[in-house]
């Protein structure tokens, strides 16, 4: 989360606008990425993540958000049996899920 993405460089100051100094390479103070997300949702989508999903053309009547995310290679489906759970590709959550959720199947 703290590496430069899309050519955006960290400046040493929190990107949420709070003015706090952050460690080298970080964009946000602890937890402030969530605040920034909340601010944007508030400004653009009335504070509703459902409205955000729909605004981007996903959800009921639109594209399937998870299927598209999976197609872009951002998430990986568990794939054990018919398990529909998906997680960030190569993540610890995915490994943990596979190791624990299907025990004894
Ligand atoms: Zn902040
Ligand atoms: Zn699973």
How far, in Å, is the centroid of ligand 2 from the Cα of 69? 17
Distance 6 CA to ligand 1 centre (A): 20
Flag whether pLDDT at 46 surpasses 70: yes
**In angstroms, what is the span from residue 94 Cα to ligand 1's centroid?**
29
The residue extents of the domains of the chain are 1-63, 64-105
Distance of CA 93 from the midpoint of ligand 2 (Å): 11
**88 CA to centre of ligand 2 in angstroms:** 13
pLDDT (average), residues 48-70: 94
For 8, 22, 30, 104, the CA distances from 16, given in Å and listed in that order, are 14, 11, 11, 45
Q: What is the mean pLDDT of the segment spanning 94-98?
A: 95
pTM to 2 decimal places: 0.66
pLDDT of 16 over the 90 cut: yes
Mean pLDDT computed over 73-84: 93
Residue range 33-61: average pLDDT? 94
């Amino acid at each position: 989360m703290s590496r430069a993405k899309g050519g955006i460089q960290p400046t040493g100051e929190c990107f949420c606008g709070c003015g706090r100094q952050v460690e080298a390479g970080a964009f946000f103070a602890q937890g402030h990425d969530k605040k920034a997300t909340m601010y944007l949702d508030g400004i653009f989508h009335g504070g509703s993540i459902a409205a955000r999903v729909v605004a981007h053309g996903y959800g009921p009547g639109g594209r399937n958000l998870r299927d598209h995310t999976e197609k872009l290679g951002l998430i990986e489906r568990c794939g054990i049996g018919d398990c529909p759970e998906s997680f960030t590709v190569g993540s610890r959550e995915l490994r943990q899920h596979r190791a624990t959720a299907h025990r004894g199947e």
